């Protein structure tokens, strides 16, 4: 099993983490998701992880890679956070 690491923006709470975890586990090849709230660090484990697909999905949810944040991403992350809170 291989792992990939991502440092992202906008992770604020367990709702954010829930949304990210659910979305990442839905991707082909991803088996485990570890998220560090304080450092906004995500570690994915699996058989084959498509880094570009993961980054695209995280951007869609409002959690871009460190240094690539925008007002739009911040707004999207609030929606993803609320969805995560409702589903957890």
Task: Please state the domain extents for the chain.
Answer: 2-87
What local confidence, expressed as pLDDT, does residue 82 receive? 86
Burial pattern 70-88, b for ≥16 Cβ within 10 A else e, equals eeebeebbeebbebbeeee
pLDDT bin (cut points 50, 70, 90) of residue 1 is: confident
CATH number belonging to the domain at 2-87, selected among 3.40.640.10, 3.30.70.100, 3.20.20.100, 3.40.1280.10 = 3.30.70.100
In the predicted structure, residue 88 carries a pLDDT above the cut 80? no
Nearest to 73 by CA among 54, 58, 85, 51: 58
What local confidence, expressed as pLDDT, does residue 77 receive? 92
Calculated CA dihedral for residues 59, 8, 52, 75, nearest 10 degrees = 0
Q: Are 34 and 6 in contact (CB under 8 A)?
A: no
What local confidence, expressed as pLDDT, does residue 83 receive? 86
């Amino acid at each position: 099993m291989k792992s990939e690491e991502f440092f992202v923006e906008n992770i604020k709470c367990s709702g954010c983490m829930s949304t990210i975890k659910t979305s990442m586990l839905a991707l082909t090849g991803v088996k485990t998701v570890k998220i560090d709230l304080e450092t906004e660090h995500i570690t994915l484990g699996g058989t084959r992880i498509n880094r570009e697909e993961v980054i695209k999905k995280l951007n869609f949810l409002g959690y871009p890679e460190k240094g690539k944040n925008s007002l739009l991403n911040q707004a999207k992350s609030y929606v993803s956070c609320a969805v995560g809170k409702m589903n957890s």
